[in-house]
Chains A and B, each alone.
Chain A
């Protein structure tokens, strides 16, 4: 009797435990995709998330620019780092499985997918914010595509951009992997068309003032950069001019000291945007990454030394020289010493230099004469004015090189001018990144670049 009693109790226990609901567990720090983009706020935070990936150290957080600076170097930078991937780039002997080049590609397209999700969910965004959200998303996509095509495709001025392979233009978000995921590379010109369309849309839809997020000014500035790369000087000039006028109206200005454009604090702390930052990737102590600091600063890995060949380019008295410092016999740039400084993407100085160059090339003075624009740059660093009579294109380009040194401009400026890097001419296949082998492996529609 007693036995049967226990027996039945135990059996009941068994039945109770045997309940299917026990298998329904839910994640706590992530949510299902189907629940992620339902409200206006959902989409806005997804847009913030896109900036997070945009500014990842593998992409706009520094690695993209550092890799391009190393590739552009002939004798001004000394690389002594231990990361093989960057050594390969520095030596222009890049295997197709280079991890840094793979990561830049991955994070570029990750960012693009993020904003594609945002753009697809625009319908749920409240009317007041819709244009801004769309503008920011397109600013990010246009900028990302522009940098991808510049690094992984032939230069605009190298052969025919209508036949040269660029990078895949992806404008729809990924829900699953299908045949449609096996994208082809678009032609260089097609990518530029998409870039210009995105940035133009962005410049039309974005507000002038938008905190540290992308603004109308940033979109115009990025457009001027694209046009300059294409050698479309009138467009470059006009967009730069439009951006400058809006910027000046809205309190942007060159910092009075060059060093203040690269704020350093001890201990390192988040310094936010300076008055001359048109657009910068945000870094705080708890989010964002600054890979310029990692490689260029002696306080980081100190992998990149500045050689005399670079230092000798400066005129005596150039205050920009003061930013270099020596540590144990090696010279480093002091531009990026603050671990938590924002990563500069567009500074006002670039716009003056672009406007000056375009005006000069066109013989115009839209907005300001080239001499006056260059004066702004030189005044600030304690250098004497170059009069309009003495101003040359070479002087403008040199000013641009020194003002924007190490910020990711060198490679693309060399290419658009058709100059060489050491023994390599601007159109050498070695100055174009390979398409990462991992993607070639899984996507038969992707063609590899010449020389890889």
Chain B
């Protein structure tokens, strides 16, 4: 009973008006919290953690690299979920949220690739290696580009939402396939996970806490950006509808 009541409350935000009202109230908090976490995490990470005994100060790029890489994958996952919601329940806000998230995902992927290259140059002695993780990120980048290009290419918004949703589903399967294929194809240079629940392989505690703060900052920033951009998309569509109505009236 309570679960279905909760679900009903969640679906209420599928109403664009309700969505806009709530997010407008919530957005300032998200912006402030994101800025706070990012400033604290980055300043802490950059200035108040010791240099690594082998990597020197280059280790500090981890505070940008790990959160952005994490977000790059999870944003695609979020788009998958919202695409499914659109296909099943036909809530426009859901499709628009997926559309709003994609450019953020591209930027996150680019940040992860760029910071990785900047770190790799002094550490591995190369900007780029055809390592499985690096390669799968490049492929993920291409998937994002194709997804956005398809959104841009189609004029009818419902058709665009349908087609991009199916592309997102099929793309997810192929992205996972590519990940395994790439693993098979080349041995890795990239180190294992720097964060996991299995504490043994984690980075040392001095790096770990500010890193968590940075990740929280990136997540909050993403939520704020997606809510804001979804609101923009909703308004843009309203303007289009109003213009269409005016043209018919005139």
- Do the two chains belong together in a single complex? no
